[in-house]
Structure 1
Amino acid sequence: MFDAISLFAWLAAVSGAPVPAVDPLTRPIESSHAAQWLAPAEPEKVFGKTYLVGFAGMSVALIDTGDGLILVDGALPQAAPAILANVRGLGFDPKDIKFILSTEPHFDHAGGLAALARDTGATVVASERGAEGLRAGRHAKDDPQLAYGGSWPAVERVRVMRDGEVLTLGKTAITAVATPGHTMGSMSWRWPACAEENGGSTCKTVVFASSLNPVSAEGYRFTAPAGAPFVEGFAASYRKMDAMPCDILIAAHPDNAGSGRYNDRPGACRAYADRSRKLLVKRLAEERSAAK
């Protein structure tokens, strides 16, 4: 069975037409989860001027600041054209995207960043450790998923933001919230979204949360000395999620936050942290039991 690249080459050969160039920044990354992650979803307003322009199994957010647009996350490389099409579908010009915020240096969330940055001229923003991974286009050496291997298109220019630092564009101030554990460079993002309701302005706090899943490649142990910083990172992230203002939760993988594409129920961020907390407790118990 032909893949897309082979099919184009075959059609060109039989027709005499030139073979179309393959875009290295959107070349598909094969994954058994890709079809589920990238299942199509219509662009959707969340609240105020915050929108979703991603997929059924992978969140990508868009913020209209009044003085330019901000994207959050970039999904897989092959997802970049669909993300930009969704931005256009909402009536926006992708060239107005000024910043692209990254949650983590893994291919499923960062793979599309290089293409999106190139096609929009936007600046990619990440944590210090996240930026290292984006520039390298591969897992950090201490990443629990390192043994999975693989790489993604590297991002040449990355602006670093630290925990608690605020990015302001137009009428929107976005706060960086370090949420390590899944990776040591994971970063969540928080901002106010306002809308006119019942003759007045109502504002809600939106949190785009990085993954908090305590998962790893086979053979990795969070109970080993190398895993201790990640366990401590998870604990710090839980404390932040428990205490943070959070009216609307957008999770990097929406199914981790409940049903639907976002969670606007009271306590959404605390529930998100509690889900991971229980999974980590179970994982550590299983590792200790296996070691006996």
Structure 2
Amino acid sequence: MATLAAVSLVVSALAFVHVYAQDQPASWSEPQKPVRIFGNTWYVGTRGLSAILITSPTGAVLIDAAVREAADGIASNITSVGVRLEDVKLIVNSHAHNDHAGAIAELQRRTGATVAALPWSAEALKSGKKYAGDPQFESPTTPPERVAKVKTIRDGEVLRAGGVEITAHKTAGHTPGSTTWTWRSCEEGRCVDIVYADSLTAVSADKFRFTDNKTYPHVIDDFTRGYAFLRSASCDILVTPHPEASDFWPRIAKRDGGERDALIDRTQCARYADRADAQLQKRLATERAK
């Protein structure tokens, strides 16, 4: 029997496919009150799209910004947890699609924060257009608003903003610039390693083939490296750009119901990679059978 997490991964992947032909899911812009994940780490996104705020007394970091119309809600959530917008010093991204980077440009204007990304994502964000190499390049999707200035970073680079320190890990495949972020948060003398793992799903435009692809020839190798990283990462708490892909809301409900460690599962990152790998292998088998 399929686990809830496995079903959620499939539903999350299908959401990408069906959004091409119809309006985006309502949950992507549905307001959501901020939720403390652990210590100085907060969920400040919409109900259906993650945005993560990591705070310190001297500055904060925002990871992802959902769709364009989510800017007001994310800004309100940031201030409601006691962080002034001008204290957001750094904005980073999982991958440069509108559902995760749509409001980055607007939030950069409001905060004055530096936006940083791996090379492919940096160029995509600066272009304001769909960017070559993306498996979804030929899909009728809306690109994120152009970001005026983006700092290019490297795989494995440690970024610091105020008292926050996070590390960028290239986990490409879903896009050539897909990035997983890791950091440590503490509360009441207890510290955990948090992994914000980017989407690992092999989703594409109809004509894109992951096998023998000319526009993104290393896509399978990139996926494989990303899976290997997630399987070996120090991972106490997993959060994903689409919260259902990591059972975020059910786990929050359990935690708020009294199960203190409901968010903590040191096997979750590896299982997340395993599910995505199985989905990729199924996709490759389908392509090779044609």
SS in 1 for 2:86: helix
Q: Which residue of 1 aligns with 2:5?
A: none
Aligned equivalents of 2:111, 2:36: Cα separation in 1: 21
Q: Which residue of 2 aligns with 1:222?
A: 210
Question: Taking every aligned residue pair, what percent have the same amino acid on both sides?
Answer: 38
Aligned equivalents of 1:241, 1:178: Cα separation in 2: 11
- Please say if residues 59 and 252 of structure 1, whose CA atoms lie closer than 8 Å, have aligned partners that are also in contact: yes
Q: Which residue of 1 aligns with 2:225?
A: 236
SS in 2 for 1:148: coil
Deviations 1:41-62 (A, max 9, x none): 2101000100000022110000
Deviations 1:148-172 (A, max 9, x none): 1433310011111111110123332
Q: CA deviation at 1:94?
A: 1.3
Q: Which residue of 2 aligns with 1:179?
A: 171
Aligned equivalents of 2:276, 2:217: Cα separation in 1: 16
Q: Which moved more, 1:141-150 or 1:233-242?
A: 141-150
1:156 aligns with 2:148: yes
- Please say if residues 107 and 151 of structure 1, whose CA atoms lie closer than 8 Å, have aligned partners that are also in contact: yes
SS in 1 for 2:138: helix
Change (3 A) 1:123 1:203: same
Aligned equivalents of 2:222, 2:153: Cα separation in 1: 18
1:277 aligns with 2:277: yes
Q: Which moved more, 1:263-272 or 1:187-196?
A: 263-272
Structure 1: gaps (5+ residues): 1-28
Aligned equivalents of 1:164, 1:241: Cα separation in 2: 14
1:109 aligns with 2:78: no
AA aligned to 1:152 is P
Mapping of residues 97-176 of structure 1, within 5 Å = 97-149=88-140, 150-176=142-168
Aligned equivalents of 1:82, 1:165: Cα separation in 2: 30
SS in 1 for 2:218: helix
Deviations 1:243-284 (A, max 9, x none): 111111110111111252775322111111111101101111
Q: CA deviation at 1:65?
A: 2.3
Let me know the Cα RMSD of the aligned residues.
1.8
Aligned equivalents of 1:278, 1:166: Cα separation in 2: 31
- Please say if residues 207 and 246 of structure 1, whose CA atoms lie closer than 8 Å, have aligned partners that are also in contact: yes
Q: Which residue of 1 aligns with 2:255?
A: none
Aligned equivalents of 1:174, 1:203: Cα separation in 2: 15
Aligned equivalents of 1:48, 1:259: Cα separation in 2: 17
Aligned equivalents of 2:35, 2:213: Cα separation in 1: 44
1:42 counterpart (20, 33, 50):
33
- Please say if residues 59 and 163 of structure 2, whose CA atoms lie closer than 8 Å, have aligned partners that are also in contact: no
Aligned equivalents of 2:281, 2:28: Cα separation in 1: 26
1:247 counterpart (236, 241, 249):
236
Aligned equivalents of 2:52, 2:201: Cα separation in 1: 20
Corresponding pairs, count = 258
Q: CA deviation at 1:30?
A: 10
Aligned equivalents of 2:25, 2:247: Cα separation in 1: 20
SS in 2 for 1:146: coil
Q: Which moved more, 1:86-95 or 1:179-188?
A: 86-95
Q: CA deviation at 1:191?
A: 0.5
Deviations 1:191-250 (A, max 9, x none): 110111xxxx11101111111111001121111333541111100000100011111111
SS in 2 for 1:45: strand
Q: What is the TM-score normalised by the length of structure 2?
A: 0.85
Q: Which residue of 2 aligns with 1:212?
A: 200
- Please say if residues 172 and 192 of structure 1, whose CA atoms lie closer than 8 Å, have aligned partners that are also in contact: no
Aligned equivalents of 1:159, 1:228: Cα separation in 2: 26
